[in-house]
């Protein structure tokens, strides 16, 4: 601890000096105490409060709000952190600006949930030069030099999509549906890992299932309003030719369902009765309620509770322990259909949980 404080002092950390000054005056010591005296005082007192600069994607979805709540609670001042939180409003340029500001402020760690995968090399090189460790979570980044970040923790978005598509195949087979299946893909923010993975999985499944085809696709930017707008355009173009709506998150599914119902289309499980079958991702509280109501046929979880996972990483780094470079989190899958309990994806079994109202009540987001 003392070593770290002295090291920080010699590297001229303005933040630490301020913290020490406050600490010293609070203890009624002389204002002209030497840096060594101040460091020793701090060492006898409380741990240095870490300053975290966190760049969040935006507030586009229920998932995102839950994620923000989780990180804000974990990095609260009560938990001993100084959190500088920045909402980038779904614009990468805002994230680049925020990271540069974090560097100027001399934060201890930068935590980034990147809107898109590319375009991070320069700004992360600047963070590296400033000696600030960077942790990436949720979505991934693509950089030439992977030493630009300490570690990444997040979802396997492609696997989420694969699980959704295998379930759809099982479901159609179980109903003996062999006719052509016309799919509309309402995509997330283009270039975001959550979009790239889920779209790629659908494309692969369409190649494998000769009677499936994607008849329309557009980005709904992960929002309810845009999801509704895209679905309205698809309905104008394809009307009742649509069989399946693959909404790449819950909010776009809400918007799409509203658009279909406003135009008098039925949403449900019976494709042969001209019902539109909706697939969604996130498994938020509202998304699961719609799943229980059979408006969403299946919902693949994308877990937003990153706060405790991120503090665990920082605690490990502070203790000098090694951390995994890449960690995929485990996620669930839910359906209103009871008889598809397990599916095989990438040669391993995955459980599909039959949804009940009790499960939704227990849900924390
Ligand atoms: O990156 C996670 C995705 O982003 C979630 O699926 C979505 O709801 C969010 O906006």
pLDDT in tens, 128-155: 999 999 999 999 999 999 999 999 999 9
For residue 49, pLDDT over 70 is answered with yes
Average pLDDT value for residue range 199-219: 98
| Residue (of 264, 273, 209, 262) closest to 246 by Cα position | 209
Q: CB of 282 closer than 6 A to ligand 1?
A: yes
For residue 242, pLDDT over 70 is answered with yes
Q: CB of 64 closer than 6 A to ligand 1?
A: yes
- Residue 208's contacts (CB-CB under 8 Å, 6 or more residues apart) are none
Residue whose CA lies nearest to ligand 1 atom number 2: 194
Alpha helices in 209-339 (DSSP H): 224-238, 250-262, 285-292, 307-318
Residue 178: per-residue pLDDT: 93
Centre of ligand 1 from the C-alpha of residue 294, in Å: 22
Task: Tell whether pTM > 0.75.
Answer: yes
Cα torsion 83, 86, 92, 96: sign? negative
How far CA 107 is from CA of 83, 95, 140, in Å, comes to 9, 15, 22
Token digits of residue 122:
């320069």
Centre of ligand 1 from the C-alpha of residue 176, in Å: 33
Average pLDDT value for residue range 348-357: 97
Alpha helices in 75-156 (DSSP H): 92-105, 121-129
Average pLDDT value for residue range 73-91: 98
Q: CB of 63 closer than 6 A to ligand 1?
A: yes
Q: How far is the C-alpha of 120 from the C-alpha of 143, rounded, in Å?
A: 7
Average pLDDT value for residue range 290-311: 98
- Range with lowest mean pLDDT among 31-45, 109-123, 152-166, 254-268: 31-45
For residue 41, pLDDT over 50 is answered with no
Average pLDDT value for residue range 85-99: 98
For residue 31, pLDDT over 70 is answered with no
Q: CB of 284 closer than 6 A to ligand 1?
A: no
For residue 36, pLDDT over 60 is answered with no
Centre of ligand 1 from the C-alpha of residue 353, in Å: 21
pLDDT category at 48 given cuts 50, 70, 90 is confident
Q: What percent of the chain has pLDDT over 90?
A: 87
Q: How far is the C-alpha of 357 from the C-alpha of 360, rounded, in Å?
A: 5
Average pLDDT value for residue range 237-243: 97
- State the chain's mean pLDDT as an integer: 90
Q: CB of 281 closer than 6 A to ligand 1?
A: yes
Q: Counting beta carbons within 10 angstroms of the beta carbon of residue 238, is it exposed (0 to 12), middle (13 to 18) or buried (19 or more)?
A: middle
pLDDT category at 46 given cuts 50, 70, 90 is low
Angle separating helix axes 35-44 and 2-10, nearest 10 degrees:
150
């Amino acid at each position: 601890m003392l070593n770290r404080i002295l090291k920080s002092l010699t590297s001229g950390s303005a933040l630490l000096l301020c913290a020490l000054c406050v600490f010293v005056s609070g203890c009624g010591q002389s204002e002209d105490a030497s840096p060594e005296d101040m460091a020793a005082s701090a060492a006898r007192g409380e741990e240095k409060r870490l300053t975290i600069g966190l760049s969040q994607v935006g507030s586009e979805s229920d998932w995102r709000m839950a994620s923000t709540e989780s990180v804000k609670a974990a990095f609260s001042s009560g938990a001993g952190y100084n959190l500088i939180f920045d909402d980038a409003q779904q614009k990468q340029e805002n994230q680049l600006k925020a990271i540069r500001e974090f560097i100027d402020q001399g934060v201890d760690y930068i935590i980034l949930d990147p809107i898109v995968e590319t375009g991070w090399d320069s700004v992360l090189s600047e963070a590296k030069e400033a000696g600030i460790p960077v942790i990436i979570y949720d979505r991934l980044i693509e950089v030439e030099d992977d030493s630009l970040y300490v570690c990444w923790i997040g979802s396997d978005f492609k696997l989420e999509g694969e699980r959704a598509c295998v379930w759809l195949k099982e479901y159609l087979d179980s109903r003996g549906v062999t006719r052509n299946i016309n799919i509309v893909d309402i995509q997330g923010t283009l270039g975001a890992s959550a979009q790239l993975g889920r779209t790629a999985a659908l494309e692969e499944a369409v190649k494998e299932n000769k009677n499936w085809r994607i008849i329309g696709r557009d980005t709904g930017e992960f929002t309810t309003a845009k999801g509704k707008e895209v679905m309205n355009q698809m309905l104008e173009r394809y009307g009742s030719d649509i069989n399946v709506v693959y909404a790449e998150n819950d909010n776009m599914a809400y918007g799409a369902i509203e658009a279909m119902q406003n135009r008098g289309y039925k949403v449900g499980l019976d494709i042969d009765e001209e019902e539109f079958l909706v697939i969604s991702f996130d498994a938020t509280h509202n998304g699961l309620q719609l799943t229980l109501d059979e408006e969403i046929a299946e919902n693949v979880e994308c877990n937003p509770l990153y706060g405790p996972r991120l503090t665990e990483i920082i605690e490990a780094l502070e203790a000098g322990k090694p951390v995994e470079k890449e960690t995929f989190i485990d996620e669930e899958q839910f359906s209103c259909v009871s008889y598809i309990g397990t599916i095989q994806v990438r040669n391993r079994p995955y459980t599909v949980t039959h949804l009940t109202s009790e499960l939704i009540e227990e849900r924390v987001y």
